[in-house]
Amino acid sequence: MDGSHRDRLETLEARVPGDFTIGVATAALQIEGDAAGRGASAWDTFAAEPGRILDGSTPERTAGHIERLADDIALLKQLGVDSYRFSLSWPRIQPTGAGDPNPAGLAFYDRLIDSLLGAGIRPMVTLYHWDTPEPLQKAGGWMNRDTARRLGDFAQLAGESFGDRVDKWVTINEPTTVTLNGYALGVHAPGEALLFDALPAAHHQLLGHGLAVQALRAAGVTGGIGITNVHSPVVPTRRLNPLDRYFARVFDLVHNRVYADPVLLGRYPKPPLGAGALFRALTEVDTDDLRVIHQPLDFYGLNYYMPTRIRAGSAPSTQTPDGESEAMKDVPFSLVDFDEYPKTGFGWPIAPEFLERTLTELAARYGSALPPVFITENGASFADAAGPDGAVRDSERVEYLARHLDVALRGAPGVDVRGFYVWSLLDNWEWAAGFTQRFGLVHVDFDTLERTPKDSYHWLQALLAARP
């Protein structure tokens, strides 16, 4: 780091505008535990299959957030965040994914929301963060168009129950990841490896997003409404190689534009010449569906973790950022490492300049169609452990967060960045990686559930307190 860069990071707190939101984020299945108090989710079924979860763990208990609610609210309050982003467990509220709600499920979120408001923290609520109720999954999950209607109904129920108190609503978290990891590559639930035939799962999620926005508005919610997409700027491995460039464009569609274009512009992107057949599931959809998907939004949620580098030719290895996928062998391009960058515990490149590039690309692609942006997730996993004095000295995470927050605060021309949420408050159950990756500002002992704020927690706490 050069001197001016270090100075900028040291004075970060002075550069946070008064109306800029700083928060932390979590997701229900990753922290709640209390599996007995909810219906089954597609992830329970997936985790029960041998070899699906790296350490063989399940989402049954995770970080025990439900039993530790009071402690976790106290941690949020002491941290001093403006907002807390969490997700509703669909199977806890609607155990079968349809019909009457479970009163105990609704009561838990009432308690959570009221406690947050009591602590002066604005709730940002994600309706769907990947935990599809198992009966809906059995009927095809997101490959079945009816799941979109079910999400619309769930949104209505959530809007009627909590719409007077929620500050911001996110309909779906990262439909990209659900499609790619869950249906195309088979590394997340439900474990299908359909490659490009997975694209109906993208369309049905986007339709579900549109129906959910309509349902929330019809329920008269007072908060703003948006979606959260994960963006990864895509670069060709060999800058001048036409085939690398071609497949980089294909992957940019698959990862980014298929999800952002219809939401913000009301149309799917045009596939590059010769790739039309791969994208047919999207380019031949009914224009009425596109009208439903293209709802006016109050904000755009952006998750940023890393860039992607693409090389033409099928994969020499089957490694994806989230696990091994045999299916990668059958695609005509592969993902290439960013060896020039340091890596997180997951092996993801630490490259904040690509967050800047993401913002620039959003401005260039969507112009005035881009609503205010909230960075709804950014963070990193490292192998944190308590030292002999009990402290967890996660200086790499502090540096990671400072560098990315710095980019967020600088922003980019044409993008109105209004907030930044750290992923995550707590160490959690990291999907297919089980308990092997720790993303928290707070260390969790998964045997005793003991919470220990890490150095990164104290760093963010000091930054929040020192804002002008």
Catalytically active residues are 174, 377
Q: Which residues contact 35 (CB under 8 A, 6 or more apart)?
A: 44, 59, 60, 61
* Closer residue to ligand BGC in complex, CB, 27/370: 27
Chain-centre distance for alpha carbon 250: 22
Tell me, residue by residue from 57 to 96, as one string, x for binding to ligand BGC by CB under 6 A and - for no binding.
----------------------------------------
Nearest to 188 by CA among 328, 87, 25, 323: 323
Q: Is 244 in the site for ligand BGC (CB under 6 A)?
A: no
Taking each continuous run of H as one helix and of E as one strand, the counts in the chain are 17, 15
Q: Is 173 in the site for ligand BGC (CB under 6 A)?
A: yes
The DSSP result for 192-253, as a single string, is ---GGGGHHHHHHHHHHHHHHHHHHHHTT--SEEEEEEEE--EEESSTT-HHHHHHHHHHHI
* Closer residue to ligand BGC in complex, CB, 165/397: 397
Instruction: Please give the Cα distance from 295 to 263 (Å, whole number).
Output: 7
* Closer residue to ligand BGC in complex, CB, 174/244: 174
Instruction: Please give the Cα distance from 378 to 405 (Å, whole number).
Output: 9
- In whole angstroms, the minimum distance from the beta carbon of 345 to ligand BGC comes to 11
Range in contact with ligand BGC (rule: CB under 6 A) among 108-116, 172-180, 190-198, 268-276:
172-180
C-beta nearest to ligand BGC: residue: 27
Query: How far, in Å, are 83, 257, 352, 409 from residue 413 at the CA level?
Result: 25, 20, 17, 12
Residue with tokens 């008269």: 220
**Of residues 274-333, which lie at the interface with ligand BGC (CB under 6 A)?**
303
Nearest to 208 by CA among 152, 140, 144: 152
Range in contact with ligand BGC (rule: CB under 6 A) among 3-11, 173-181, 273-281, 352-360:
173-181
- Which token pair is 211? 């129906």
Nearest to 408 by CA among 459, 362, 442: 362
The DSSP result for 115-148, as a single string, is HHHHTT-EEEEEEESS--BHHHHHTTGGGSTHHH
Among residues 47, 93, 230, 335, which is the contact residue for ligand BGC, using CB under 6 A?
Answer: 230
Range in contact with ligand BGC (rule: CB under 6 A) among 33-41, 78-86, 169-177, 289-297:
169-177
Q: Is 423 in the site for ligand BGC (CB under 6 A)?
A: yes
Q: Is 348 in the site for ligand BGC (CB under 6 A)?
A: no
Among residues 32, 361, 406, 430, which is the contact residue for ligand BGC, using CB under 6 A?
Answer: 430
Range in contact with ligand BGC (rule: CB under 6 A) among 171-179, 359-367, 383-391, 459-467:
171-179
Q: Is 177 in the site for ligand BGC (CB under 6 A)?
A: yes
Sign of CA dihedral 204, 207, 213, 218: negative
Tell me, residue by residue from 377 to 416, as one string, x for binding to ligand BGC by CB under 6 A and - for no binding.
x---------------------------------------
Residue with tokens 């092996």: 347
* Closer residue to ligand BGC in complex, CB, 312/375: 375
Among residues 27, 211, 302, 363, which is the contact residue for ligand BGC, using CB under 6 A?
Answer: 27
What is the DSSP-derived secondary structure letter of residue 415?
B
Summarize as ranges the residues that interact with ligand BGC (CB under 6 A): 27, 173-174, 177, 230, 303, 377, 423, 430, 439
